[in-house]
Amino acid sequence: MFKKFKRNMQIKKYTLLGNAIKETYLKNYDKITNHVELSDDVFIKQFIIVSWHQGIGAMLHFLLVTKPPKLAVIMSNNPQNFICIPLFEHLNIEIIRQDENDTNAFARAKQIHHYLTEGYSIFNFSDGPNGPSKVFKKDMLFFSKKYKIPILPLIATADNYTLLRKSWDQSYLLNAKTSQFWVRNDVSMVVTDLEKDALTITKQLNELESELFELRDSTK
């Protein structure tokens, strides 16, 4: 009983924080110089978009700037993730999250199946939900192989941000001092070999991140 009450209070707290974050992002996003280098078909074709948790604050800005037409984001049940929901709802982004009371282990897979068959792209932080950081989880590769939908590695970063909490994922938010933002994608691929392709995508994400971090640091 107490555990449920505590969780509900956490959800309320992070939802309130999420509303404040949404307003801050809406207020400041057009003051930022955006370096968006993406393939022309990113929001025309269907993809399974993957990234690292470390860029979650920049990713929120990326979604606000690009406003993808049909996108579903995979989230864990951690109450802290509710900070993202107000902005997702503002952008009409669907949320894939297994209810904590749902004992069906395939509930999330069923949701992913639904959105993929409806033509949605899926976004996933592929070292989640609990890390370790930058260790690729292969679950989304199964969907790429089954549905023949390409995996698209994508990284975003910014020149200034505020750490949200000290944890493995180094979650952060953009702030009023953020002046520049970068986002790039690498070559997409339909998965055929889970082990081999996981290594390839991990390499793509890490190289993309290194490139953008070097570019970001050169502007300081």
Q: Quick check: 116 pLDDT over 80?
A: yes
Least confident of 93-102, 108-117, 118-127, 195-204: 93-102
Tell me which of 134 and 170 has the higher pLDDT. 134
* Domains of the chain in sequence order: 2-218 (3.40.1130)
Q: Which amino acid is at 77?
A: N
Looking at per-residue confidence, does 123 or 29 come out higher?
123
pLDDT at site 103: 54
Peptide bond between residue 129 and the one before it cis (omega within 30 degrees of 0):
yes
pLDDT at 32: 95
pLDDT, tens digit, 9 for 90 and up, residues 47-103: 999 999 888 889 999 999 999 999 999 988 888 888 899 999 999 999 998 665 555
* pLDDT tens digit sequence for 155-209: 999 999 988 777 767 778 899 899 999 999 999 999 999 999 999 999 999 999 9
Stronger pLDDT, 130 or 7, i.e. the higher one: 7
Could you tell me the CA-to-CA distances from 113 to 1, 5, 121, 183 in Å, in that order? 34, 32, 11, 28
Query: What pLDDT sits at residue 130?
Result: 77
Q: Which two tokens stand for residue 93?
A: 């982004």
Q: What are the E-state strand segments in 52-125? A: 71-74, 94-96, 121-125
What confidence score (pLDDT) does residue 172 get? 83
pTM for this structure?
A: 0.92
Query: What distance in Å separates the CA atoms of residue 114 and residue 208, rounded to the nearest whole number?
Result: 30
Cβ atoms within 10 A of the Cβ of 131, count? 13
Which residues touch 183 (CB under 8 Å, ≥6 apart)?
Answer: 34, 35, 36, 37, 38, 58, 62, 154, 155, 156, 157, 212
**pLDDT score for 168:** 66
* The pLDDT value given to residue 56: 85
DSSP-derived 3-state class of residue 49: strand
